[in-house]
A and B are shown apart, each in its own frame.
Chain A
């Protein structure tokens, strides 16, 4: 409520005080903005991502077929590592590598301007894209795990654990991919980071940890995908022999890395979107 004060003698001069600022349009709310970005990103799969999703799955199945030549079928550390590593590799390929490339390309081409000139919470853009890329991995990861369990004579009864492993490993790896894509100074470097991250997940994920030299093992421990692989591998002997506390521990690491990397990615998005 404002009170108009009339100054004597000023009535004839209606050079009024400046009008109040115009009302601002509402911001997009976090939930609906996330849903809109997620849906839009998911629809991109139909146009552009199907061949790449096929490649991701084909690569993982190919690795398992190859490894079958040197690893005995039946429950054992090596067989579990191959199946779990190949399955999580699909997540690394799509969520880390492809998302890093996507954000790198969006940033380099000025495509981020589109989102930056809309009243959207930055976290909605990052989470929507990360969530969609993590979702792209679901069919490939499931198929790889199924084929792997059949190939290596492992139980199918605990595959339900993928319902937790995919979202949490997906959060960790897509957060990392988004952060790398948005922080890389150039598009080619974003691509390079994405490829290297995926290669690391491949080389360090599909071999059993006990077969690796100690320094390589330390690097393996630094890689977020490792904890997704470990969690899944622990369950492949059937639920009776599974150390569920260790599975929860591994998945907590994925969740923590996911939260941290998505926060960094959101910060990087803000930084990239407005200069």
Chain B
């Protein structure tokens, strides 16, 4: 797999490891129809599980990954792609059926307990912290990460100041808004430094200010300590703007892994044309009717992925012909990671553009 980092200067120091996390052939299967619904496993659509027969769900289906030191590495995929299952194996919460996970020279399949001493993890759920105040959640987490009382308090104060949570430090997390709650849990993840951070959808529900605080805090730790960050997202805009590299996950497999620009180059010969109709599209016009089979239709919005020249001629025909009156809006855009995902054969929908 192309790691995309060959041209980066190695960090100073002879024995510094370049690859922080190496995953090979990771397989994890959930028995289908087992009544126990695992947290983090969302069932796939009916296509993945045949109606008859106890088909197992392969949530990780031979995953290989290499994450370099100091990287901000993303795992992108729609709901049910197996992102959470993957990070739960990286953090020692779930045992793989097969495959290897090496983090900083430690075999985490054989020693899952070491994950807690190498990795700071932010899961999707905050129920363990919900009824604590922001301050106590951060301090307790620090103490449970092995800090003594004074160090935990100092680290708590530093992180709460850094994320501008000090004004709400004495409020119970439960009574905060969704975005603030997420930020408070992120703060707890940062108390007690770890060389690797694994964050499962860290910015869900956050406003732009909180998101910026998260990216700034991660940036500081990467610059100062060489912290490596693995994060799960289904938000393509976020993936394109902040990540160094992205592994695109679909049905438990990595279907592509590269920088966002490298991934977009895979579909560079296409553009995306979005058409929004005022009412029903005028299918009596032959040029409109000809587009319909190509369109991904969502309500009154048609999304078309077309070669450049075809897109140009389509726009020209639409804007000069009678169909223009029926259009509410149209946009022509360079491809996003969502287009990459679909072009690579990604089958599920559900990537978020926000």
Contact = CB atoms under 8 A, between A and B. Distances in A.
A118 to B, nearest CB: 4
B15 A47 contact: no
Interface stretch (A30-38, A137-145, A243-251, A252-260): A30-38
B124 A110 contact: yes
Contacts of B148: 32
A117 interface: yes
Contacts of B145: 25, 28, 118-119
B105 A118 contact: no
Contacts of B190: none
Interface in B118-149: 118-119, 121, 123-129, 131-133, 136-137, 139-141, 143-146, 148-149
B106 interface: yes
Interface stretch (B50-58, B109-117, B344-352): B109-117
Contacts of B149: 32
Contact of B16 (A19, A116, A274): A19
A120 B117 contact: no
A22 B17 CA distance: 9
Given A115-B144, A119-B146, A24 B94 contact: no
Interface residues of A, number: 43
Interface centre among B93, B95, B141 (most CB of A within 10 A): B93
Contacts of A37: 140, 144
A115 B94 CA distance: 14
A33 B144 contact: yes
Interface string A72-111: 0000000000000000000000000000000001101111
A106 B126 CA distance: 10
7 closest pairs, A vs B, by CB? A21-B105, A110-B39, A111-B127, A22-B104, A114-B128, A36-B143, A24-B117
A185 interface: yes
Contacts of A110: 39-40, 123-125, 127
Given A25-B146, A44-B131, A47-B131, A113 B95 contact: no
A16 B18 CA distance: 12
Interface of B: 14-17, 35-36, 38-40, 88, 91-95, 104-106, 112-119, 121, 123-129, 131-133, 136-137, 139-141, 143-146, 148-149, 172, 174, 192, 194-195
Given A22-B106, A25-B117, A47-B172, A113 B140 contact: no
Contacts of A106: 127-128
Contacts of A119: 113, 116-117, 144-146
12 contacts: A16-B15, A20-B15, A27-B146, A28-B144, A29-B146, A43-B136, A109-B125, A114-B128, A116-B116, A118-B144, A275-B94, A275-B95
B145 to A, nearest CB: 6
Instruction: Name the prevailing secondary structure of the B interface residues.
Output: loop
Contacts of B141: 114, 118
A113 B15 contact: no
B192 A25 contact: yes
Interface of A: 16, 18-22, 24-29, 32-33, 35-37, 39-40, 43-44, 47-48, 105-106, 108-120, 185-186, 273-275
B143 A32 contact: yes
B77 to A, nearest CB: 19
B40 A25 contact: no
Contacts of B16: 19
Contacts of B123: 110, 113-114, 117
B116 A112 contact: no
A19 B106 CA distance: 11
Chain A CB within 10 Å — which of B15, B117, B136 has the most?
B117
A44 B144 contact: no
Given A22-B195, A27-B146, 14 more contacts: A18-B105, A20-B15, A21-B105, A25-B145, A26-B146, A28-B145, A43-B131, A111-B125, A113-B88, A113-B123, A114-B125, A117-B115, A274-B94, A274-B95
B105 A19 contact: yes
Contacts of A28: 143-146
